[in-house]
Amino acid sequence: MKKALFTGAGVAIITPMHPDGSINFDKLGELLEFQIANGTDAIITCGTTGESATMTHEEHVEVIRYTVEKVGGRIPVIAGTGSNDTDYAIKLSQEAERLGVDGLLVVTPYYNKTSQRGLIRHYTMIADSVNLPIIVYNIPSRTGVTIKPETFAQLCKHPNIVADKEASGNISAVAQIKALCGDDLAIYSGNDDQIVPILSLGGSGVISVLSNVCPKQAHDICQLYFDGKVAESANLQLELLDLINALFMDVNPIPVKDAMNLMGMEVGECRMPLLTMDDQQKSALSGIMKKHGLLA
């Protein structure tokens, strides 16, 4: 049985920007402290929500370095180091290991894609190159690649491949993955609207966009479930469902950054080609946030 990197709600943290588009490290420090103070169970940096796709290599490394130093071992730090270039994913994973992260989040190759055999080779080469636990990130809507349950059954045999961030939306596939892999693969929901269903199939938690604005609530959904208060956990998820959906009314992380700015967090806008939402969308988001007490 492999040890999970964390249980509960890990935040897929945004990367705050200055008006000129450069990274606002002071603000990032504030956000990390806000997350820790409100019960977040892990920090996942430089993922999709963190806009890693528009970071330079130097920025990617500096964000990881800063996050590790700021968190200081209080909760796990997991760094996104995936690429559609296997050699570069290895290089970045090794760099993150040197910087002291607790684990890696490695997305499937995108655009050039690959076969299931290629996925096994890709992940095996990365896992062989480091001495860190790896979360495989399955998100077909962005990458055009779906990892089949049978492929996970092969991947989880590697001692460093410990978890799946599952964002396929396919609960039947989650059940099959768990049936095939058992305790050799932790499963984290990659969708905030599926936390409880995935926990019910033996999942270990969520890697959450919602946690950027509601860290305590996302943590509580998981903790209530772990404490045997299943109805309370489900009710909290359902209560937050309109907010969860609102945070995906446009391409992630546009809405969550707009939400945080509405809350006065001053995290800046996304880098191009992602544009801030229009006034009608912001008004709809604001109304839902007021309902949940996030805005006056």
Residues sharing a CB contact under 8 Å with residue 223, sequence separation 6 or more, in sequence order:
8
Catalytically annotated residues: 137, 165
Measured CA to CA, the distance from residue 133 to residue 151 in angstroms comes to 18
With beta carbons less than 8 A apart as the criterion, state whether 49 and 292 touch: no
